[in-house]
Amino acid sequence: MNERQRLSAGERAALIASMRSSAPPAETRSVAAIADPRWDTSFATLPVHRMVQTQRAAGELIGLTSPFHRLHESRSGAHALIEGRECLNFASYDYLGLNGHPEITAAVAAAAEQWGTSVSASRLTAGERPAHRDLERALAEVYGTESALVFVSGHATNVTAIAALLGPKDLVVHDSLAHNSIVVGAVLSGAHRRIYQHNDLDALEQVLEANRGRHERCLVVTEGLFSMDGDGPDLARLVEIKERWGAWLMVDEAHSLGVLGTRGLGIAEHSGVDPRRVDIWMGTLSKTLVGCGGYIAGSEALIDILKYQAPGMVYSVGLPVPLAVASLTALELMRREPERVARLQRNGRRFLDRARAAGLDVGTSWGYAVSPVVVGDSLRTVVLADRLFERGINAFPIIPPGVPEKSARLRFFISAAHTPDEIDHAVDVVAEELDRLIGEGLSVTHLASLLK
């Protein structure tokens, strides 16, 4: 480590604090870096930048390779070539193994030749293409809704839809583990926001009882399959609650389309609930549908509002035709080949059962496409991911603030393209390396002793 990277005593303390808490370390500023203390225009003096620097330097101090922004050198799916290393990959959204499917790539190539790679404007002004409407009709059919609308960004779909529908007189109530895009959309809407404990519908009822009467409109938001824990809600009860309390129900299907239900139609099929009883279906095109973007499905009135009022639609370029074609073709393959869904579900259950048998903490996972291995200690989690990578297994570490404090974990995305032997091997290696780390006593406390 050179002199510019060497940590001072204060910076070491800040590093330890940042790994124990989701709060950034105390701000450290050099007087020389600020020409006038009233006007600091340096990005380098922002506390979040210093936090990144100190964590990077600490990783180098203990010989840890950063797991972030690694270079992938091949198509990513159940397997990947990452920085020259062939890996068994558990960090891909390609749940049904459709990324690079010959039928999809041929359709994309033909679409690119005919339509180019951009629709060149917002759909409101000049960007509408037949592929958009074909994809939207297919998505509406999945949910039995009157209409659907696709957006160029999955994250922006939640943000812009929630912000367009609600205002200061309204109420948003969401699960405590809701995705960042849901939280940001709720905040930007200006509506009052309340949170209920994860999947605790008794707590949801208490929130509604205490708050519903003071607001005009109310939106309850949950996910079909939660991306950090791999579990989901009691949809039937949620529908009953929202109907009784006069609320809209919005379900984020980003990780449940193609994953839940015998045909992969999501949490409604899984739960035996008529999907038309849910007011707003949201999903992304980047997981099962191997594209990029998001969608909303619901009533004609809902889609009309979003077409003309949602900033992420009105002021953003339309989805490129090749991406719309990719997702439409993937959806057709999912409907045509339900055995892919069945194979994914078998693989997910195998991973869950094997992990539990090995003594690994998989939390509340249902054992479908997402299963965590909860480690707890942030440093141990990152080192475990690094050691797995050295052994040819890519599983991404999730640490605070991405998950609550003391619940750091490796997140495993399971694919229909994984083989049973690959799943067994991955679980065996995780259990072996985690036991080894525990035996070494490696933890945040251990790092603190190194920095003293």
Query: In CATH, what number is assigned to the domain containing residue 169?
Result: 3.40.640.10
User: In this predicted structure, what is the pLDDT of residue 65?
Assistant: 75
Same-domain check for residues 50 and 169 = no
Domain boundary among 336, 352, 382: 336
Range of the domain at 355: 79-91+338-451
User: In this predicted structure, what is the pLDDT of residue 23?
Assistant: 41
DSSP per-residue codes, 286-348: SSTT-SS-EEEEE-HHHHHHHHHH-HHHHTSBPPPHHHHHHHHHHHHHHHH-HHHHHHHHHHH
Same-domain check for residues 423 and 281 = no
Same-domain check for residues 384 and 243 = no
Distance separating alpha carbons of residues 288 and 25, to the nearest angstrom: 38
Distance separating alpha carbons of residues 259 and 269, to the nearest angstrom: 10
Largest CA distance in the chain: 66
Same-domain check for residues 382 and 280 = no
Q: Dihedral angle at the C-alpha atoms of 340, 344, 350, 352, nearest 10 degrees?
A: -170
Same-domain check for residues 83 and 52 = no
CA distances from 157 to 93, 216, 296, 309, 358 (A): 18, 23, 8, 13, 39
Q: Which residues pair with 148 in a beta bridge?
A: 297
Residue 4 domain-assigned (yes or no): no
Number of domains in the chain: 3
User: In this predicted structure, what is the pLDDT of residue 208?
Assistant: 98
Residue 117 domain-assigned (yes or no): yes
Q: Which residues pair with 317 in a beta bridge?
A: 122
Same-domain check for residues 324 and 364 = no
Distance separating alpha carbons of residues 243 and 236, to the nearest angstrom: 11
pLDDT by 10s per residue, the chain, length 452: 343 344 555 655 555 555 455 444 444 444 444 556 678 888 888 988 887 777 777 666 666 777 878 888 888 899 999 898 999 999 999 999 999 999 999 999 999 999 999 999 999 998 899 999 999 999 999 999 999 999 999 999 999 999 999 999 999 999 999 999 999 999 999 999 999 999 999 999 999 999 999 999 999 999 999 999 999 999 999 999 999 999 999 999 999 999 999 999 999 999 999 999 999 999 999 999 999 999 999 999 999 999 999 999 999 999 999 999 999 999 999 999 999 999 999 999 999 999 999 999 999 999 999 999 999 998 899 999 999 999 999 999 998 888 887 899 999 999 999 999 999 999 999 999 999 999 988 776 666 655 55
The whole model's pTM is what?
0.88
State the CB neighbour count (10 A cutoff) for residue 216. Answer: 11
CA distances from 99 to 92, 132, 282 (A): 10, 20, 21
Distance separating alpha carbons of residues 204 and 124, to the nearest angstrom: 38
Query: In CATH, what number is assigned to the domain containing residue 421?
Result: 3.90.1150.10
Domain boundary among 305, 336, 367: 336
Burial class of 385 by CB neighbour count within 10 A (0 to 12, 13 to 18, 19+): buried
User: In this predicted structure, what is the pLDDT of residue 8?
Assistant: 56
User: In this predicted structure, what is the pLDDT of residue 44?
Assistant: 87
Q: Which residues pair with 174 in a beta bridge?
A: 195, 221
Residue 3 domain-assigned (yes or no): no
User: In this predicted structure, what is the pLDDT of residue 96?
Assistant: 98
Domain boundary among 282, 315, 336: 336
User: In this predicted structure, what is the pLDDT of residue 109?
Assistant: 98
**What b/e sequence results for 151-170 when a residue is b if at least 16 CB atoms lie within 10 Å of its CB, and e otherwise?**
bbbbbbbbbbbbbbbbeeeb
Place of tokens 């991404």: 396
Same-domain check for residues 324 and 385 = no
Same-domain check for residues 48 and 131 = no
Residue 68 domain-assigned (yes or no): no
Q: Dihedral angle at the C-alpha atoms of 11, 12, 15, 17, nearest 10 degrees?
A: -100
Same-domain check for residues 288 and 223 = yes
Residue 178 domain-assigned (yes or no): yes
Same-domain check for residues 115 and 194 = yes
Six-digit token pair at 363? Answer: 């939390």
Q: Could you tell me which residues come within 8 angstroms of residue 346 by beta carbon, excluding any fewer than 6 positions away?
A: none
Same-domain check for residues 314 and 355 = no
Same-domain check for residues 118 and 193 = yes
Residue 97 domain-assigned (yes or no): no
CB 227 within 8 A of CB 255: yes
Residue 35 domain-assigned (yes or no): no
CB 160 within 8 A of CB 184: no
Residue 24 domain-assigned (yes or no): yes
